[in-house]
Amino acid sequence: MKERGRPKRKRVTAVKVVLGLVILFVAIEIAALPFPWTVAGLRTHNPSQTALMKERMSQAKAKHRPFRIRQSFVPLSRISDAMVHAVVVGEDGTFYENDGVDWYEVQQSFDADWRAKKIVRGSSTITMQLAKNLWFSTSRDPLTKLNEMLSAFMLTHYLTKNRIMELYLNYIEFERGIFGIQAASRVYFGEPASQLTRDQAARLAAIIPDPLGFIPLSGSRFVSYRTNIILVRMGARGW
């Protein structure tokens, strides 16, 4: 009887070990969340560097490539309304209504990923993208996504929508080493962010899903298609 009982005890022990490792891994991931006072501090504090900037610098260093960050912070009042409208319709149509997470998009993304057995559709809101840029990596694993969602709730709780938008537009990535709308506007159009037209804003918003793969002035089908979609959506909203 004792001999028969050993395999069962071994299985129970193995399950406990695996469960313990899972709990430890989740705890480590959750520990990566920003402190509430860090999030609240963003009401008046503009970070000098973000997690995404540091990741890009590390990648460049590993490849022995030079890397220079071009970024200049400007208040939301000095950013074209067209740019704000373009990123809303392009990245997060319910930005001003949601709590940092668009649950409909989350469900649609889950269904698409489940059918494909891999990640094929994003569901990140503007607030979640900001959280990723500020504190996390470009990883798309489920636990990182969970951290983005939890951080988005905190951002929505402590900051106004205008402040979230201001931070987002000042730290979003545009091509290699270009961060923020002011730097991107200067590089691509030779104008400050306040002077961006509807078409220019739509082109910049069009490459946000893949900033290292495309540039706004590209004649690629992807950029042209995305630009047209954004312009149509802006027009439908009276923008």
Contact (CB, 8 A) for 198 and 82: yes
Using DSSP's 3-state secondary structure scheme, residue 179 falls into strand
Contact (CB, 8 A) for 69 and 58: no
Where in the sequence is the domain holding 15, given as residue range(s)?
1-31
Contact (CB, 8 A) for 76 and 162: yes
Do 23 and 97 lie in one domain? The reply is: no
Quick: pLDDT tens for 62-108.
999 999 999 999 999 999 999 999 999 999 999 999 999 988 777 67
- pLDDT beyond 90 at 203: yes
Do 111 and 142 lie in one domain? The reply is: yes
Distance CA 239, CA 234 (A): 5
| Residue among 71, 56, 92 nearest 165 (CA) | 92
Do 88 and 41 lie in one domain? The reply is: yes
Distance CA 225, CA 167 (A): 27
Do 16 and 103 lie in one domain? The reply is: no
| Residue among 42, 72, 47 nearest 177 (CA) | 72
- pLDDT beyond 70 at 23: no
Number of Cβ within 10 Å of residue 172's Cβ equals 24
Side chain identity at 39, as an amino acid letter?
Answer: V
Distance CA 77, CA 95 (A): 18
Contact (CB, 8 A) for 57 and 173: no
Number of domains in the chain: 2
SS3 assignment for 188-227: HHCCCHHHCCHHHHHHHHHCCCCCCCCCCCCCCHHHHHHH
Distance CA 27, CA 31 (A): 6
- Supply the pTM of this predicted model: 0.85
Do 24 and 83 lie in one domain? The reply is: no
Q: What is the dihedral of CA 4, 8, 13, 17, to 10 degrees?
A: 140
pLDDT at 140: 77
Do 139 and 155 lie in one domain? The reply is: yes
Quick: pLDDT tens for 105-144.
776 755 555 455 555 445 689 999 999 999 998 887 778 8
- pLDDT beyond 70 at 31: no
Do 19 and 116 lie in one domain? The reply is: no
The CATH number given to whatever domain includes residue 74 is 1.10.3810.10
Do 18 and 113 lie in one domain? The reply is: no
